[in-house]
Chain A
Amino acid sequence: MDDVRALILGDDEKRIEQVVRRNAKDSVSEVVSEALIERENKDGSVNKVLVPLIEKSLHRSVETNSDKIVGALYPLVGSLIRKAVSAFLVEFVERTNTLIEHSLSFKSLRWRYKAWRAGIKYADYVASQIYQYQVHQVFVIHRETGTLLNSVSLDPEKSKDGDLVSSMLVAMNDFVADAFSDNNQADETEIGEIRTGDFTLLIKIGPQAILVTAVTGNISPSIREQLQITLEDFHRYYQLPLLNYNGDNTPFLSSDSLLQDCLSSALKKPTKKKKRFGIATLIIFILVILLGYLSFVRMHLSLTASRISQATPPPGIVLISNEIEQGKVAISVLRDTAADSLISWLSSLDIDLEDVRIQETPFISQSTDIIIRKVSQWITRYPSMVFTVQDNNLVLSGEISQPQWQAFIAQYKQITADVLPLPDITALTITDPVDIDQQDALMAVARDLSAKLSTYVLPFEVNQITLADEYTTTVSHIAQNINNLQNIADKLDLDLNIFILGASDNSGTVAKNEIVSQGRAKYVKQALADAGVDPTILYNKGLGELDFSHENASRVVFLHALLTEKIEHEGTGR
């Protein structure tokens, strides 16, 4: 090749070379840019050559002109540092405020305990409890044109028109920058957050792109951090498409997965505590109502039982027991058939019969009232006889035949069972003439009464010549029987004498016992006279000591009736 060149050019080669060298600067300067681009596009060799050279040059330049480079970078780096520190401080203050707000309460103690159990820091646990948020939509916007590069949404059907939202946000940012920034372009004011009723728009502005999220709830500082990381990643991954952006969004379609990272949420699962609380309250309420009702019923039954216990049962009814059993007052009574009904008694006490269960056992009452009631019912069979009651004694009047009288008196003894004395028949006229048989009948009654008087024994205490009060009734009965016997004796034309015999035990001297026995007989004589017995037929006698095996049986007064034919010298022998 060199030989060919020497043959063609000869001596002119040097001259040509000088001419080309002289015009080389102009020729290369005209095509150098295009040549570099063409070569770079062809095999990328320009970069390979230039990058090491530039790095080397930069290194040397920083070493030799560090002051100038620091001066040039200072405004840019200073602004970035200020923003980073500001963001950190905002996050720090928010977290500190939250901790202070929740540090002096019962809830905080509970959270501390749970954080300790979970093995995590208290601050982290507080954050997990407080920050409840949901990121609904994420936009990434081309900063210069305001056009939407890409967006992702939690619910695509509810997503807003991203194109218009993006443009408006950029317009608002332009307005804020124009209205509030000073003339220094490097320190441009930017919108960081826009709050609406439900949503908060968090805005992170990068060199070429703006990342915007629509969030609801109480926003955690961590979400801002996530936004910053995503924005930085977006710039790193899509640096060239961002720089060469011409309105075509195709290169950014693959950024979905990157933006999805921002669609985070921290929502507490709804607890069923309130529901449980509601059920528990309902159960407690029902239990309280139930207990209240049972207490009321119990109290009502107690009052009913108390009223029954305090009331005096009518004659012929004896209350045995009165207890609350199985929701009712169980009453157990003894009741004579002649007595009032138990229901009428309870009704008179205003007691609801539904509250009472009655167990009634029949018995024969010894009550004077009941016996009188029985006699009064039975005596109606004898309409010719009139029946009255004076001081619990029966008084008969009117007329009755002798056979009817015999039947009446036998039945009377059966009904009264010796509780009542024989009736006063002074005003009663037995109409039939007294024949032998009738005299025998009267005699039989007289003998019965005499025998009965002999059965009366009035006991005395040691060395006492007066009767105890409890024997007053017995004395009355004796007096009634003596008077009845006197009436019969008069009809039979017989004399009646009553011997009152006093006795004593052998605890004292014989003389003393003589006196005591005489005193006892005398006392009983006076008592009978006081009870209405004619004193002229009463004779008292002290028997002195009676040597009975049971010494109590010795301290008594007993009676003996003596019926004798009337003597003509009546009244002289008494």
Chain B
Amino acid sequence: MIQKKICLLGPTGVGKTSLVRQFVDGIFSEKYLTTIGVKIDKKQMDIDDKSLQLLIWDIEGVDRYCGFNPRYLRGAAAFVIVVDQTRSQSLLEGMDIFTSARESFPNTPAFFVVNKSDLPNEWYWTSEEVEQRQRLFTDAINTSAKTGENVEQLFNKIASVVI
């Protein structure tokens, strides 16, 4: 069995923990819990007849007051930047985190996730502006941790890249 470390990054409250919980346990809770430090989960997958275990590091949300600790990304096979389509600021903050991560880890595959697709798109970014940023990533996907839309697909994409 192959083990791979995957890190989830992003601004606070974009749904990183909910994505992991939906993927690992298949459940969603409206209750909001702030992650402090790191929360780690694991999930086994089978990709192309190969057994893979993802160790998912759900890193606490980064904001203007809380700096990003790049050490958490050390040894990661891939990292995911999660943003919230109901908050315009989350895209800018997510891209700042991405830039910081790229400085330390220029070759690590990175995935762009626009979460909360079950809610109306309320940010003022045009599709072009979003796509322009998505091109900097290995791959991009819109998800909903609440409905589970594209959550499985997101991790399948990651698994197929890191394996």
Residues in chain A within 8 A of chain B (CB atoms) = 142-148, 163-164, 167-168, 171, 174-175, 177-178, 246-249
Q: Are A145 and B5 in contact (CB under 8 A)?
A: yes
Query: Do the beta carbons of A177 and B71 come within 8 Å of each other?
Result: yes
List chain B positions with a Cβ less than 8 A from chain A.
Answer: 1-5, 37-38, 40-42, 53, 55, 57, 69, 71-72, 74-77, 162
Q: List 6 A-B contacts (CB under 8 A).
A: A144-B75, A145-B4, A146-B57, A168-B38, A168-B40, A171-B37
Q: Are A249 and B71 in contact (CB under 8 A)?
A: no
Bound CA–CA A164/B5 (angstroms) = 11
**Distance, CA A353 to CA B55, complexed state (A):** 94
Contact of B55 among A147, A177, A246 (CB under 8 A): A147
Question: Which residues of chain B are near A168, meaning CB under 8 Å?
Answer: 38, 40
- Is A249 within 8 A of B3, CB to CB? yes
Tell me the smallest distance from the CB of B30 to a CB of chain A, in Å.
26
B53 surroundings in chain A (CB, below 8 A): 163
Q: Are B69 and A175 in contact (CB under 8 A)?
A: yes
Contact of B40 among A171, A175, A248 (CB under 8 A): A171
In the docked arrangement, what's the CA distance between A167 and B1, Å? 17
The CA-CA distance from A102 to B3 in the complex, in Å, is 49
Residues of chain B with a CB closer than 8 A to A146's CB: 5, 55, 57, 75
Query: Would B2 and A171 count as touching, CB distance under 8 A?
Result: no
A524 to chain B, nearest CB (A): 135
Chain A residues, CB < 8 A from B162: 247
Q: How far is the CA of A147 from the CA of B74 in the complex (A)?
A: 11
Cα–Cα, bound, A223→B77 (Å): 34
* 8 Å CB contact of B38 from A147, A171, A248: A171
6 closest Cβ pairs, A-B complex? A145-B75, A144-B75, A174-B71, A247-B2, A147-B3, A171-B38
Q: Do A144 and B74 touch (CB < 8 A)?
A: yes
Task: Verify B71–A247 contact, CB threshold 8 A.
Answer: no
Contacting residues, chain A, for B71 (C-beta < 8 A):
174, 177-178
Q: Which residues of A contact B55 (CB under 8 A)?
A: 145-147, 163, 167
Q: How far is the CB of B93 from chain A (nearest CB, A)?
A: 20
Q: Is the interface of A mostly helix, strand, loop or mixed?
A: mixed
- Tell which of A148, A178, A248 touches B2, judged by Cβ atoms closer than 8 Å: A248
User: In the complex, what distance in Å separates the CA atom of A163 from the CA atom of B76?
Assistant: 15
Given A146-B55, A167-B40, A171-B37: A246 touches B5 (CB 8 Å cut-off): no
Residue in contact with A175 in the complex, picked from B2, B3, B37, B42, CB distance below 8 Å? B37
A-side contacts of B74, CB under 8 Å: 144-145, 174
Q: Which residues of B contact A175 (CB under 8 A)?
A: 37-38, 69
Closest CB-CB distance, A169 to chain B, in whole Å?
Answer: 10
Chain A proximity of B45: nearest CB distance (Å): 13
Chain A: CB-nearest residue to B38: A171
Contact status B3-A247, CB under 8 Å: yes
Would you give the shortest CB distance from B77 to chain A, in whole angstroms? 7
Q: How far is the CA of A168 from the CA of B42 in the complex (A)?
A: 12
With A144-B74, A146-B55, A174-B72 already in contact, 12 other A-B pairs whose C-beta atoms are closer than 8 Å = A145-B4, A145-B74, A146-B57, A147-B3, A163-B42, A167-B55, A168-B40, A174-B69, A175-B37, A178-B71, A246-B2, A249-B3
In whole angstroms, what is the CA distance A145 to B37 when docked? 17
- Least distance between A451 CB and chain B CB atoms (Å): 139
* B residues in contact with A145, CB < 8 Å: 3-5, 55, 74-77
**CB-nearest residue of chain B to A143:** B75
Q: Is the CB of A164 within 8 A of B42?
A: yes
Q: Which of A146, A174, A247, A248 has the most CB of B within 10 A?
A: A247
Q: Which of A144, A167, A246, A249: most chain B Cβ within 10 A?
A: A167
In the bound assembly, the distance between CA atoms of A246 and B69 in angstroms comes to 23
Q: Is the Cβ of B57 less than 8 Å from the Cβ of A249?
A: no
| C-alpha spacing A147/B53, complex, angstroms | 10
- Looking at A144, A146, A168, A246, the one whose CB has the most chain B CB atoms below 10 A away is A146
Closest chain B residue, CB of each to CB of A174: B71
Within the assembled complex, what's the spacing in Å between the Cα atoms of A167 and B37? 13
Chain A's closest residue to B5 (CB) is A145
Expressed in whole angstroms, the minimum distance between the Cβ of A358 and any Cβ of chain B is 96
Question: In the complex, A419 Cα to B37 Cα: how many Å?
Answer: 125
Are B40 and A164 neighbours in the complex by a CB distance under 8 Å?
yes
The complex places the Cα of A448 from the Cα of B57 at a distance, in Å, of 144
Cα distance A177–B26 in the bound complex, in angstroms: 34
Asked whether A178 lies within 8 Å of B69 as measured between CB atoms, the reply is yes
Quote the shortest CB–CB distance from A144 to chain B (angstroms): 3
CA distance A148 to B53 in the complex (A): 11
Distance in angstroms between the alpha carbons of A248 and B52 in the assembled complex: 9
Residues in B neighbouring A246, C-beta threshold 8 A:
2
Residues of A close to B1: CB separation below 8 A:
248-249
Q: Determine which residue in A144, A171, A178 has the highest number of CB atoms from chain B within 10 A of its CB, and name it.
A: A171
Q: State in angstroms the CA–CA spacing of A145 and B1 once bound together.
A: 15
A171 to B40, CA, bound (A): 9
B75 is contacted by which of A142, A164, A249 (Cβ under 8 Å)?
Answer: A142
Which residue of B is nearest A161, CB measured?
B42
CA distance A51 to B108 in the complex (A): 33
- Check A247–B40 contact: CB distance below 8 A: no
Which residue, of B1, B3, B4, has the highest number of chain A Cβ atoms within 10 A?
B3
Q: How far is the CA of A249 from the CA of B37 in the complex (A)?
A: 27
Tell me the smallest distance from the CB of B76 to a CB of chain A, in Å: 7
A166 to chain B, nearest CB (A): 9
Which residues of the other chain, A, contact B57 by a CB distance below 8 angstroms?
A: 146, 167, 171
